[in-house]
Homo-oligomer: A and B are copies of this chain.
């Protein structure tokens, strides 16, 4: 424990070692970018296989950097699914990009902790600025700008955003004391994080109503919502929160926010719009139908870490009025008091989400928006949508396949007409091929393939190759 143990003065990596090894890692990542397209997209390791390649006990002595980096090739690489492959069409993307990775590198190197404005003013001010930029880029309502009564914050993900919206809504109607009477609403197609968030916030299962959807659009049935809210109110319960989804995970259905908003207003319920994936489409002026009704929402979220080329974890969460959010989440112990906070002139983001400590989250988003410019974002997002429309046409033109849902944006849901077993075989065959990765949903209680076109480096040729492969592997109709 004493320096005398080994005679070494420090085990910290020196700046020169960091320089040398850092260049190696940059080189590794650059080579990864070059070859990821050719790697099998889905990892085929078995449970326990990765761990079995590594020592069961931690090293007593420091290890050499060469050995550590060698294990990345030997152990890590075969054990990961390549989310950054242009042939990744599964789930929704979790995009990295060059400027974003470099933003993360710089944020890690600076190593600042931005819990308070005072603990690193740039960390807070650039976050507010960049989120105001995003309001402009996505043409969101002005009420979400930090320069008014509302504002934005970077959450780790949409799950955090939904939970914080629930907590702000709960606060507005009396906090924990009111819990027993509260009812929240979302559609049956809403993301699982709504169920999780409601549970975390202390709502019982019977206090979250999952409203049915229109059989064709799969969007929330606003009339059913109206009935449910009226029934609850008549029974003395308090409808306090509605989550509308713009672009559901299963099929990209878009809830009718403009029809939902007046219902929420009538009951003074908080309206949260979860646009985690689809919201990014609004960088393109002709896709701004995703924003309809937003001007009446209390809160909204979109994930730049999905479809705006910014690494996890980066969800942009906006509120029209920040007071209930701060009232729900602010706790001020003496050791965090400081003159800037007490002046009221600054934003302390620790009061805008669950964590206290926080990285310099905005840096990578700032870099991405500057690297691409509005023009670059429109270009790529617009292309993804255009290619999805093309793919939808190909599906429709092939008698062996059918579209399983409308394709408003970049998610194509389709199935082989041969039934669940045929689709299961097809899905497994495609993913086992290593040439692409797509996932599934159940729509109309039938197994459906989901193909999301949105990876940072996906080009039209990757979509064509995916379709060709699907087409080859599919049996006859």
A122 close to chain B: CB less than 8 A:
yes
Docked pose: A318 CA to B371 CA in angstroms: 40
Q: Is the CB of A113 within 8 A of B128?
A: no
CB distance from A237 to the nearest CB of B (A): 15
Docked pose: A137 CA to B97 CA in angstroms: 36
CB distance from A375 to the nearest CB of B (A): 6
CB distance from A245 to the nearest CB of B (A): 13
Given contact pairs A175-B199, A334-B440, a sample of 13 additional A-B residue pairs in the complex whose CB atoms are under 8 Å apart: A6-B375, A12-B98, A15-B34, A16-B30, A19-B30, A43-B120, A50-B126, A57-B133, A78-B122, A79-B125, A83-B119, A94-B112, A192-B333
Our pick among B47, B137, B335, B379 for the contact of A121 (Cβ within 8 Å) is B47
Chain B interface: which of A157-165, A294-302, A390-398? A157-165
Chain B interface: which of A59-67, A218-226, A228-236, A253-261? A59-67
Our pick among B10, B84, B382 for the contact of A1 (Cβ within 8 Å) is B382
Q: Is the CB of A60 within 8 A of B373?
A: yes
A473 close to chain B: CB less than 8 A:
no
A423 close to chain B: CB less than 8 A:
no
Number of copies: 2
Docked pose: A123 CA to B113 CA in angstroms: 25
- Residues of B close to A63: CB separation below 8 A: 370-371, 373
- Residues of B close to A250: CB separation below 8 A: 334-335
Total interface residues on A, using CB and 8 Å?
171
Q: Is the CB of A129 within 8 A of B5?
A: no
A465 close to chain B: CB less than 8 A:
no
- Residues of B close to A196: CB separation below 8 A: 329, 331, 354
Docked pose: A27 CA to B72 CA in angstroms: 23
Q: Is the CB of A355 within 8 A of B156?
A: yes
CB-nearest residue of chain B to A283: B1
Chain B interface: which of A100-108, A265-273, A400-408? A100-108
Given A120-B79, A126-B76, A250-B334, answer yes or no on A108-B58 (Cβ-Cβ < 8 Å): no
CB distance from A465 to the nearest CB of B (A): 17
A249 close to chain B: CB less than 8 A:
yes
CB-nearest residue of chain B to A177: B204
Pairs A–B under 8 Å by Cβ, sample size 18: A1-B286, A2-B382, A5-B379, A11-B376, A16-B30, A18-B102, A25-B26, A25-B105, A25-B106, A43-B122, A45-B121, A47-B346, A51-B128, A57-B133, A179-B202, A192-B331, A196-B331, A200-B354
